[in-house]
């Protein structure tokens, strides 16, 4: 029976955490219960794992219950959604750190990945129950989220003080700049 794609993604991130993105290959997923055909059906290239991971995290975030009130500002709402996403990423932090380190040495690959964060930013904006923002907001939020991920990857404080401060300050600037085009 073919292995579930999310299970393959989770296994891939475990292997990446152990060996690093640079040395990881799809053949590292081969196990007694996982055939090469299962792997080939799920992924053509190892970079496909990143897209599948983002989709998996997006589905998990959408399953999270968010309840906002009229008193919650756009910053409050986005902060809650972004921090919930980082909570979902926490078990994969070592693998994410390895992948981000690779992108520092391969900026074109990083640019392609981080460009895709706009889609994640649109999803997070929707989950924050904000009016549909202009395209520029989604792009700016995606760029901010990429910078936040880099901060998060380097933040070794279990309370994520640096990450939360960066997030709150950045979201404040972003929302101030785009007011009144985004509203709760």
**pLDDT tens digits for 98-137?**
999 999 888 888 888 877 788 889 899 999 988 766 778 8
Q: In the prediction, which pLDDT does 33 show?
A: 82
Write out the two tokens for 181: 């085009």
3-state SS assignment for residue 31: strand
- Which 8-state DSSP code applies to residue 182? S
Q: Domains of the chain: which residue ranges?
A: 5-178
pLDDT tens digits, 16-28: 999 999 999 999 9
Number of alpha carbons in the 13 Å side-chain half-sphere of residue 177: 12
| Sign of the CA dihedral with 118 first, then 121, 123, and 126 last | negative
Q: Please give the model's pTM, rounded to 2 decimal places.
A: 0.90
For residues 72-95, average pLDDT: 96
pLDDT tens digits, 20-72: 999 999 999 998 788 888 899 999 999 999 999 999 999 999 999 999 999 99
For residues 150-174, average pLDDT: 96
Instruction: Compute the distance between CA of residue 138 and CA of residue 123 in angstroms, rounded to an integer.
Output: 9
- Which 8-state DSSP code applies to residue 34? B
Report whether pLDDT(1) > 80: no
Average pLDDT in the chain = 91
Q: Which CATH number fits domain 5-178: 3.40.640.10, 1.10.540.10, 3.30.750.24, 1.10.357.10?
A: 1.10.357.10
């Amino acid at each position: 029976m073919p292995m579930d794609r999310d299970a393959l993604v989770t296994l891939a991130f475990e292997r990446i955490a152990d060996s690093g993105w640079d040395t990881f290959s799809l053949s590292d997923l081969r196990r007694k219960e996982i055939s090469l055909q299962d792997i080939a059906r799920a992924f053509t290239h190892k970079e496909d794992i990143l897209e599948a991971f983002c989709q998996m995290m997006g589905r998990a975030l959408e399953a999270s219950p968010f309840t906002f009130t009229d008193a919650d500002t756009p910053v409050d709402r986005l902060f809650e959604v972004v921090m919930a996403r980082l909570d979902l990423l926490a078990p994969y932090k070592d693998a994410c750190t390895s992948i981000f380190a690779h992108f520092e040495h391969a900026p074109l690959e990083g640019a392609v990945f981080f460009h895709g964060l706009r889609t994640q930013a649109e999803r997070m904006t929707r989950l924050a129950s904000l009016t549909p923002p202009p395209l520029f907001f989604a792009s700016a939020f995606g760029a901010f989220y990429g910078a936040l991920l880099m901060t998060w990857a380097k933040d070794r404080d279990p309370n994520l003080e640096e990450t939360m401060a960066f997030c709150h300050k950045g979201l404040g600037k972003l929302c101030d700049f785009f007011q009144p085009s985004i509203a709760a």
